[in-house]
């Protein structure tokens, strides 16, 4: 199944609970906006493109559940739900993009409450289909950059689990493998929530693409030994100056530059943020408990009382990036994000 889907039979949003992988593949159902917010906050669903579609389904759900019988009343309910959803995770722009796109279409075309419910769901479903198609295009464009023998390092999970389907960074790898290019992958573990070891490695194993998992701190040594030929990562937000992505991406970009290894970012155009000021962009800080305790048994990793800074994302300057791969093509330095949007 796709990472996230609308379930018509009981008007719920179905998703793979990513906190349980790779041990258990479980589908959960969110039946109201609070459950959707909980799922996003706790990373049951995660990854920028998947969050965008989840935000859209959340607004569609709010429209379904609203008892308002006027357009104004319904818009009020939808906007309140949209605000609650947007607050769950601040860094990935796709989340607010998904919510805002839904609210905009409802404002433009919603003549009565019944119509609003239908329009909202149709648009959210359109976004889910678009995401899957866009990732295929990103994959096709990016696959041209890979050749036989490449060992590609990736960080976090920018695979089908981070999207509706196929993936961005892993979409490129998947497309190349499908075309017959002989490649293998090195997945950084991605502390503290281990999206690399738990999700990326699992996805690649399912597709029979060779993968090794390394600790995050092993990447520099492997680059210096000539093991890594390319780095491909996804993105949560791209401004003219920086690519925001999982914490550790910046360090990898510096290491790649030092060792003359191409550093590629694969992302849909919806991840671009051309109009924002850096000071307005919030880097998500998550609970210290994600670092203080280890695993389900909650073994103590950092003694109580010691302060912990758990930043979920960092920002990589554009000058460290060799190319941005999008559905509109692959863009090389000098990278101008307005040109990417125009295609």
Binding-site ranges for ligand MRU (CB under 6 A): 43, 46-49, 92, 156, 158, 162-163, 168, 195, 234-236, 245-246, 312
Tell me the closest approach of the beta carbon of residue 46 to ligand MRU, in angstroms: 3
- Would you say 74 or 170 has its CB closer to ligand MRU? 170
- Would you say 46 or 117 has its CB closer to ligand MRU? 46
Q: Which of 150, 216, 236, 314 is catalytic?
A: 236
| Residue nearest ligand MRU by beta-carbon distance | 234
Torsion on CA atoms 197, 91, 288, 155, rounded to nearest 10: 20
Tell me the closest approach of the beta carbon of residue 63 to ligand MRU, in angstroms: 26
Instruction: Answer for the pair 282, 314: CB distance below 8 angstroms, yes or no.
Output: no
- Would you say 110 or 268 has its CB closer to ligand MRU? 268
Q: How many CA atoms lie within 13 A of 179 on its CB side?
A: 19
- Would you say 312 or 325 has its CB closer to ligand MRU? 312
Tell me the closest approach of the beta carbon of residue 291 to ligand MRU, in angstroms: 14
Tell me the closest approach of the beta carbon of residue 267 to ligand MRU, in angstroms: 7
* Letter string b/e over residues 227-244, b meaning 16 or more CB atoms within 10 A of that residue's CB: ebbbbbbbbbbbbeebbb
Q: Rounded to whole angstroms, how far apart are CA atoms 29 and 15?
A: 6
Tell me, yes or no, if 314 is annotated catalytic.
no
- CA distance to 71, 124, 128, 190, 267, per residue, from 118 (Å): 13, 10, 16, 40, 29
Tell me the closest approach of the beta carbon of residue 132 to ligand MRU, in angstroms: 13
Q: Rounded to whole angstroms, how far apart are CA atoms 202 and 205?
A: 5
Q: Rounded to whole angstroms, how far apart are CA atoms 165 and 79?
A: 28
Gap between the terminal Cα atoms of the chain: 31
Q: Which two tokens stand for residue 262?
A: 């191409």
- CA distance to 52, 243, 244, 252, 315, per residue, from 281 (Å): 17, 12, 10, 22, 10
Q: Rounded to whole angstroms, how far apart are CA atoms 79 and 55?
A: 12
- Would you say 117 or 198 has its CB closer to ligand MRU? 198
Tell me the closest approach of the beta carbon of residue 157 to ligand MRU, in angstroms: 6
Distance of CA 218 to the CA centre of its chain: 24
- Would you say 49 or 58 has its CB closer to ligand MRU? 49
Enumerate the active-site residues: 236
């Amino acid at each position: 199944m796709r990472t996230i889907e609308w379930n018509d039979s009981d008007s719920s949003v179905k998703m793979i609970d990513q906190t349980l992988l790779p041990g258990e593949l479980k589908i959960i159902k969110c039946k109201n906006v609070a459950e959707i917010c909980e799922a996003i906050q706790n990373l049951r669903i995660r990854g920028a493109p998947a969050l965008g579609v989840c935000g859209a389904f959340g607004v569609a759900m709010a429209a379904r559940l609203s008892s308002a019988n006027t357009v104004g009343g319904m818009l009020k309910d939808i906007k309140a739900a949209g605000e609650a959803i947007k607050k769950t995770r601040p860094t990935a722009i796709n989340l607010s993009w998904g919510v805002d796109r839904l609210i905009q279409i409802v404002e433009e075309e919603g003549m009565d409450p019944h119509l609003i419910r239908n329009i909202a769901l149709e648009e959210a479903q359109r976004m889910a289909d678009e995401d899957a198609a866009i990732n295929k295009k990103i994959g096709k464009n990016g696959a041209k950059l890979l050749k036989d023998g490449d060992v590609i390092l990736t960080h976090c999970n920018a695979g089908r689990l981070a999207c509706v389907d196929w993936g961005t960074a892993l979409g490129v790898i998947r497309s190349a493998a499908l075309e017959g290019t002989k490649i293998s992958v090195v997945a950084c573990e991605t502390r503290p929530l281990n999206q690399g070891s738990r999700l990326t490695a699992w996805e690649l194993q399912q597709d029979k693409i060779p993968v090794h998992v390394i600790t995050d701190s092993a990447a520099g040594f492997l680059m210096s030994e000539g093991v890594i030929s390319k780095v491909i990562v996804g993105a949560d937000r791209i401004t003219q100056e920086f690519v925001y992505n999982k914490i550790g991406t910046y360090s990898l970009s510096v290491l790649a530059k030092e060792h003359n290894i191409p550093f590629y970012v694969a992302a849909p155009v919806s991840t671009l943020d051309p109009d924002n000021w850096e000071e307005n962009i919030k880097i998500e800080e998550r609970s210290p408990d994600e670092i203080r305790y280890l695993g389900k048994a909650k073994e103590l990793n950092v003694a109580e009382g010691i302060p912990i800074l758990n930043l979920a994302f960092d920002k990589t300057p554009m000058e460290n990036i060799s190319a941005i791969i999008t559905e509109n093509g692959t863009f090389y330095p000098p990278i101008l994000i307005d040109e990417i949007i125009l295609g």
